[in-house]
Structure 1
Amino acid sequence: MTFIEWVAIVAALCISLVAPYAIKPFLQRLRVIDVPNHRSSHTSPVLRGVGLAPMLGVLGGVGILVGLGPEGGKQQLLIVLLTSGAVSFVGVLEDLKGVRIAVRAGTQLLIGAFATSALAAASGSDWWWVPIGAIAFAGYTNVANFMDGINAISSLHGVAVGLAFVAISVMTDIRWLLPAGLVLAASFAAFLPWNLMRNRVFLGDVGSYLLGGTIAVIVIAAVLQGAPLVAMVAPLSIYLVDTCATLLRRILRGDDWQRAHRSHVYQRLTDTGLSHLSVALIVTCATFVTSALGLLALAESGSLLAFLAIAASSAAYLALPRLRGWGAPSFTPPTATFPSAISTRPLAISARGRWAVVGASGFIGKALAKELRAQGCDVVDVIAPRLFLDSAATADEVLEGLEFSSEAVNSMATALAGADVVVNAAGLALPGSAASASLSGANALLPLVVLRAAEQAHATRVVHLSSAAVQGRRQMLDESVDTSPFSPYSQSKALGESALLAYVAKVADIQTLDLVIVRATSVQGLGRATTRQLRRLARSPLASVARPGDAPTVVSSLRGLVEFVARVGAYPGTVPGIVLQPWEGMTTSSVLESAGTRPPVAVPAAVCRSLVTLGYAIGHVLPPVNGLVRRVELMWLGQEQDAQWARTVGLEQNSYVADVLAGAPERSS
């Protein structure tokens, strides 16, 4: 190695080691904090984004090699420099302000495509490498991000892979790979003390994107220059098999594969009682083993042997949690917590008292007002004001928006005067719509305005109609505060719930008001566009279900919902803060049979799940596709529902769905 190459390596080490002193105060001022949740491997808030330090180390070291190093490989190193900087910048934005998944994925693919194009031109390779390189680059960038879940694992991975590149360089004629590998190893080795010390810090997305992106572009560059593919991918194989096996296992189990989780092999190893450092060392040792086996591919006809040996080693790694006696840890979803005066006491509500229905001219509000009047209640129809809210608002920002809505609150309080029960049936029911200020205003800010107005009007109970869509693709809908929205509509509804719960938690002077959030499922009714569409689908050749078709479905009736809301509003005993509309007994197959003229086609469940997974993958790039994919997923696979409160108190409702789907008039009560 030349003197300049040693300078580059030492510079990368020193920059990465010292830079956190300047970076930490900057991130602390911006409050770039990683707050733990039930899927985290840490238990206290930790500063993240300090991956800026190894980023500066890598860029500084490679920059010296490009500017002052030997001539051989300068084109490849320049492309590594620019690519690492670009993907790290995406990580910086994600750490500081967040980036939409579609934008993130699209940007990673573009960076990978440009990098592979430049490398193909430099090496004279075929252009069909470009799409392969783009996908490989984006893929491994995200693999490194997924695997960055415990202390030291990413830094040690950078060291191990960097040293593997050094070994490959020594045994081939790819000279630039040696200093590049050492710069990578030195930069991430310098981060280890910061990550392992008592006041530790995290790499954040900037660090994991740097790690994955830099490794990926070096592998692409070396392969296009003639390095054996098996040898170059061998150091990556443990990370790849951990991520791919976890993803496949979750898909086959029917889990929401996009949702954060704790089921990676390395996470399951920590669940067996091993420390973070112990698990990180196990993963690193496994990486050294596969890297060494990958060197067999450098010998003539050694690629097959190397591949088989790496596969066997990877399988042994995947089996480690079971060998350690791992069992899936149980998890109980969190339940809503309210001040003692809220939803914890019986109320004296007359079944025929005075009700106010906000949004009584809408599909659900109109039917509810009619039902209540049929029961002899005094009903006031209240028109909901049009409100607007930034679609990117948080729950705290919704609370701030309430302060600017005093005129709407006062006007509504006047309309609600004298009401015992207030039902908010207003909002925009647009499951396939894009994010907008009107959608967020109607579904997130309006519920808070109604609650505040009901408080001023001294109402006894407020029933807010939300949507079960806030829990997204989880296997079973329940009555916890846990949400996982997947679309602008479900996000706006989830934000409305969060704002209501945040308001109740913060305002301690609510002594007489009871808040109940009712999560409605897929409500069908005569004259509703979605019901007509469902009938047309059921009578078309596309009507199909995942075999055997006996999965419970979220399809429910308008009649069933308004009966349930009326019972919730008048219930004299304790009502939880969140209740789920009860299941009406329909399955994926019976829904389509009721709406159509023949039984639906039964498709193997594995095929359905695979197609749904592909659809959501497309949805990452084209978000509007997600709504359509979700509807297909519900038609095929259904969704379980645990309406625990209704079942406990005997309020499970009658089923009217079959009549509605068949087009028959809904029965009167």
Structure 2
Amino acid sequence: MTSYEWAAVLAALCISLVSPFAIRPLLEKLHVVDVPNARSSHAATVLRGGGVAPLFGLSAGFLTLLITSEASGGKPQLLIVFLGSVAIGLVGLLEDLWGVRIAVRAGAQLLIGALGTSALVIVSTTEWWWVPIGAIGFAGYTNVANFMDGINGISGLHGIAVGLAFSAIGAMSDVRWLLPIGLAFAVSFGAFLPWNLRRNRLFLGDVGSYLLGGCISLIALAAAFEGAPVVALLSPLAIYLADAGSTLAARIFRGDDWKQAHRSHTYQKLTDTGLSHLRVALIATAATIVSTAFGLLACNASDSSLALAIVGIAVTSATYLALPKFRGWTAAPAALGDLGPTDVTVRPLNEAALGGAKWAVVGASGFIGAALVAELRAQGHDVVDVVAPRLVLNPKGTARDAIEYLARSAEAVDGLAAACDGADVVVNAAGLALPGSAASDSLSGANALLPLVVLRAAERVKATRVVHLSSAAVQGRRRVLDESLETSPFSPYSHSKALGEAALRLYVAKGPVGELPSLVIIRATSVQGVGRQTTAQLQRLARSPFASVARPGDAPTVVSSLRGLVEFVVQVGKYAGDVPITVLQPWEGMTTSSVLEIAGGHAPLKVPVWACRSLVTIGFLIGGVLEPVNGVVRRVELMWFGQKQNAKWARSVGLEGPSYVHDVLFSLPNDHEPAAHPRADEALRGRDAWAGSS
């Protein structure tokens, strides 16, 4: 490259680095912010519009190349790309500042694409039938970049990867101007990364994502018209196109409203499995680099190189799309994310159930219900034992289907309302605890429809508070269990529990304000206690040669105690202040190694992490065909790797109680039941399946 071309790259870098310092105060003054919603991948309000910085930087690079006489050709093309990029960036800026109607945005994108393609056709003497293709391609990739700009770092890294790819193509072909402009593009977006990744973040906004997609598409068109290999030019775009294209096709195929915001992109699914934003962004970028490496083979004129390039790009894209499945992600029921803006707010529980309030426990003869009743009576509360009705619901149903079935369950509602009459607090401790079972109408009925029936009955008797026992399994394999509304169920059981949560939230969102009981959903972890089949299985496993953990074995485990859960439920029911609609049972301080060592009497085998991860991956691949296998594999994964828990609310109000897991697991079977819960062992013998959540 010439000194002028290096000067253009340096100008782009310097302007992009400095611009945010001037832009940020202006954005704060104008209050240009991105407000999170149920489909967002962030939880806090963040300034947006930072894409003005790469717009300034890239403009500086273009202008430097255009005003220097020694630039390596392509000046007409550079001018067209520059003007088109600035124009689409300004459209995005208008959207960030004031909002622009969808029809206007789409029209502007198509118009800029058509004008830019027409100008490129003129200067390169290409056929005019390229104009509609170029217009659609320009508008399409502009929106693809916008759709993919959902997590920290992904757009900046994409700009670096694509810019370097274009530079490599320029160096390997006759289109020499690709080399400096590709580098200028890369440094312009790379310079913004620190602002996007730092704690006090700044988002690109539509101005940045529109600039990213629009400039890429115009550069690719201009280079293709100049003779650069089309396959090579498309290779760095393949991952973004595969992610956005497959997502759009799947939503249309399912009959979803494809125009609505959603969280079904591959990169979003990967974050749902527990990976951080930066890790997912690096995965997408690594896939782009691999795809580009294959694409560069197309710069060789041979047919075999072209064929290998196409196959390599296709395989790389398919592998990227399959990564969420490898990580254990499974699609949630269709209606789990359709609740709208009310989803992102918590329902305050200002009403307090204090002193000698009357409680009704649905599922009082079950494992958790029996222990809860004993604890409440020991504290002097008036408690009503309520038998849960047996209900059925289509396992493929949605939250809205569950509410529709509720209207047909008048007899069940009447029966529960009569049993709960006069209760101040109603606890739903019933459900089918069958983590490894196949989908069935009884599983969905017990875990998804019954919670609605309980809430409707509590509403009927004007109860103050409803406590529903759900399961932390609804969040699946995410790295840290928390109290957010996000769910990633991986098995029929966790699907049914997630559907129950969604149905309750939808009912509350649609219900009359101030007339419904205050609802709180408690996500229980892996509850252990005397007489429970899962506890007996855990003890047998711990005493066997198969007791093992992923090295070093110090990861927190979800194993908890019946007594710990029961005490927490009572505390939540009696709490006088605000409670989020979803809370997590507090961690009881055990690690993967300590649980097995206490239960088995000897230290577990410590297996290399890579071996454990490989076996789990194979197991979930099998589970992709035989879904019930996922529950078994998930239990093994939890034994090896554990799972962190962030019971934020309990910690903030001081409700993290003592740990009783040692008492449960250390003693011999039938000899370790806490005296405060004498009924739990007797009530559950022979009927562990029809029990509370785990």
TM-score by length of 1: 0.56
Q: 2:459 aligns with which of 440, 455, 470?
A: 455
**SS at 1:621 equivalent:** coil
The structure showing larger relative contact order (alpha-carbon pairs under 8 Å, at least 6 residues apart) is 2
Query: Which residue in 1 is equivalent to 2:39?
Result: 37
Query: After the TM superposition, which residues 43-442 of structure 1 pair with which residues of structure 2 at under 5 Å, given as runs?
Result: 204-205=249-250, 263=280, 288-293=295-300, 295=302, 343-442=347-446
Q: Distance in 2 between matches of 1:394 and 1:261?
A: 33
Q: Deviations over 1:97-150 (max 9, x none)?
A: xxxxxxxxxxxxxxxxxxxxxxxxxxxxxxxxxxxxxxxxxxxxxxxxxxxxx9
Conserved? CA contact 2:482–2:645, under 8 Å? yes
After superposition, the Cα gap between the structure-2 partners of 1:422 and 1:262, relative to the gap in structure 1 and judged at 3 Å, is same
Deviation at 1:268, TM superposition (A): 5.7
- Give runs of aligned pairs for residues 471-550 of structure 1, distance below 5 A: 471-511=475-515, 513-550=517-554
Distance 1:598 1:644, change over 3 A: same
SS for the counterpart of 2:583 is strand
Partner of 1:10: none
Q: Distance in 1 between matches of 2:638 and 2:585?
A: 17
The aligned amino acid for 2:378 is: A
Match of 1:644 in 2: 648
Compared CA separation, residues 204 and 36, structure 1 to 2 (3 A): farther
Of 598, 601, 605 in structure 2, the residue corresponding to residue 597 of structure 1 is 601
CA contact (8 A) 2:351 2:576 kept: yes
Query: Take 1:651 and 1:335, find their aligned partners in 2: how far apart are those partners?
Result: 30
- 1:567 maps onto 2:571 in alignment: yes
AA paired with 1:376? G
Give me the whole-angstrom Cα distance separating, in 2, the residues matched to 1:466 and 1:291: 54
Cα distance in 1 for residues equivalent to 2:422 and 2:592: 44
Judge conservation of contact 2:474–2:497 (CA < 8 Å) in 1.
yes
Q: Paired residue for 2:447?
A: 443
Q: CA separation in 2, counterparts of 1:437 and 1:612?
A: 29
Q: Is the 8 A contact 1:656 1:666 kept in 2?
A: no
Q: Deviations over 1:627-654 (max 9, x none)?
A: 1110110000000000011111111011
Show CA shifts across 1:411-441 (max 9, x none): 2111111101000001100101100000000
CA contact (8 A) 2:38 2:344 kept: no
Letter in 2 for 1:367: A
Tell me the SS of whatever aligns to 1:526: coil
User: Given that residues 342 and 514 in structure 1 are in contact (C-alpha distance below 8 angstroms), is that contact kept between their aligned partners in structure 2?
Assistant: no
Question: Is contact 1:336-1:578 (8 Å) kept?
Answer: no
Over 3 Å counting, the alpha-carbon distance change for 1:207 and 1:579 in structure 2 is closer
Residues 142-166 of structure 1, C-alpha deviation per residue, up to 9 Å, x if partnerless?
xxxxxxxx9799999x99xx99xxx
2:580 aligned counterpart, secondary structure: coil
Over 3 Å counting, the alpha-carbon distance change for 1:363 and 1:620 in structure 2 is: same
Check the 8 A contact 1:517/1:579 in 2, yes or no. Answer: yes
Mean Cα deviation higher: 478-487 or 288-297: 288-297
Residue 327 (structure 2) aligns with? none
C-alpha displacement at 1:513, in angstroms? 1.4
Alpha-carbon separation, structure 1, partners of 2:362 and 2:102: 44
Q: Give me the whole-angstrom Cα distance separating, in 1, the residues matched to 2:246 and 2:305.
A: 39
Determine helix, strand or coil for the equivalent of 1:263: helix
* Alpha-carbon shift at residue 608 of structure 1 (Å): 1.3
Q: Deviations over 1:472-499 (max 9, x none)?
A: 0000000010000000000000000000
Equivalent residues in 2 for 1:16-35, closer than 5 Å: none
Q: d(CA) in 1 for partners of 2:650 and 2:487?
A: 20
Instruction: Find the aligned partners of 2:399 and 2:339 in 1 and give their Cα distance.
Output: 18
Deviations 1:358-402 (A, max 9, x none): 000111111111111111110000111111100000111111111
Would the alpha carbon gap of residues 485 and 46 (structure 1) be closer, same or farther in structure 2, given more than 3 Å must change?
farther
CA contact (8 A) 1:334 1:482 kept: no
Using the TM superposition, give the Cα deviation of residue 290 of structure 1 relative to its aligned residue in structure 2, in angstroms: 2.6
Q: Name the SS for the 1:483 alignment partner.
A: coil
Distance 1:412-1:548 versus aligned 2 partners, 3 A rule? same
Residues 472/45 of structure 1: CA separation in 2 closer, same or farther (3 Å cut) = farther
Q: Residue 341 of structure 1 contacts residue 511 of structure 1 at CA under 8 Å; is this kept in 2?
A: no
Instruction: State the one-letter code of the partner of 1:666.
Output: E
Shift of 1:659: 1.5
The amino acid across from 2:385 in the alignment is D
Q: Match of 2:586?
A: 582
Tell me by how many angstroms 1:501 deviates. 0.3
**Whole-Å separation in 1 of the counterparts to 2:216 and 2:622:** 29
The letter of the residue matching 2:577 is G
Q: 1:554, 1:298 → 2: CA distance?
A: 51
TM-score, normalization: structure 2?
A: 0.54
Structure 1 Cα separation of the partners of residues 495 and 468 of structure 2 = 16
Cα distance in 2 for residues equivalent to 1:631 and 1:524: 14
Q: Offset at 1:615? A: 1.4
User: What CA distance in whole angstroms lies between the structure 2 residues aligned with 1:480 and 1:206?
Assistant: 24
1:52-102 per-residue CA deviation (whole Å, 9 max, x = no partner) reads xxxxxxxxxxxxxxxxxxxxxxxxxxxxxxxxxxxxxxxxxxxxxxxxxxx
Q: Give how far 1:612 is off.
A: 1.1
Unmatched segments (≥5 aa) in structure 1: 1-34, 48-149, 169-180, 209-242, 270-278, 319-332
Tell me: CA distance 1:265–1:582, structure 2 relative to 1, closer, same or farther (3 Å): closer
Which amino acid in structure 1 is aligned with residue 529 of structure 2?
G
Output the amino acid matched with 1:519.
R
- State whether residues 608 and 636 of structure 1, in contact with CA within 8 Å, keep that contact through their aligned partners in structure 2: yes
Pair 667,392 (structure 1): closer, same or farther in 2 beyond 3 Å:
same
Which residue matches 2:134? none
SS in 1 for 2:506: helix
SS at match of 2:445: helix
Question: Kindly tell me: are residues 650 and 549 of structure 1, through their superposed partners in 2, closer, same or farther at Cα, counting changes over 3 Å?
Answer: same
Whole-Å Cα distance in 2 between the matches of residues 413 and 453 of structure 1? 4
Q: How large is the Cα RMSD of the aligned pairs? A: 4.9
Counterpart secondary structure, 1:355: strand
CA contact (8 A) 2:273 2:488 kept: no
Q: Secondary structure at the match of 2:360?
A: strand
Match of 1:620 among 624, 646, 650: 624
SS at match of 1:389: coil
Match 2:639 to one of 630, 635, 643? 635
- 1:45–1:201 distance in 2 versus 1, CA, 3 Å: farther
Unpaired runs of 5+ in structure 2? 1-36, 43-91, 104-211, 254-265, 321-336, 677-694
For the residues of structure 1 that align with 2:339 and 2:404, how far apart are their CA atoms?
25
The yes-or-no answer on 1:557 pairing with 2:561 is yes
Instruction: Give secondary structure in 2 for the equivalent of 1:518.
Output: strand
Deviations 1:306-338 (A, max 9, x none): 99xx99xx9xxx9xxxxxxxxxxxxxx999976
Identity, % of aligned positions: 56
Question: SS where residue 280 of structure 2 aligns?
Answer: coil
What secondary structure does 1:464 align onto?
strand
Maintained 8 Å contact 1:553/1:587:
yes
Determine which of 648, 663, 673 is the counterpart of 1:666. 673
User: Which amino acid letter does the alignment assign opposite residue 289 of structure 1?
Assistant: L
- How big is the shift at 1:409? 1.0
Q: CA deviation at 1:406?
A: 1.4
CA distance in 2, matches of 1:283, 1:255: 23
Structure-1 residue corresponding to 2:613: 609
**Number of equivalent positions:** 427
In structure 2, C-alpha distance between the alignment counterparts of 1:640 and 1:347, rounded to whole Å: 31
Contact 1:553–1:638 (8 Å) recurs in 2: yes
CA contact (8 A) 1:339 1:504 kept: no
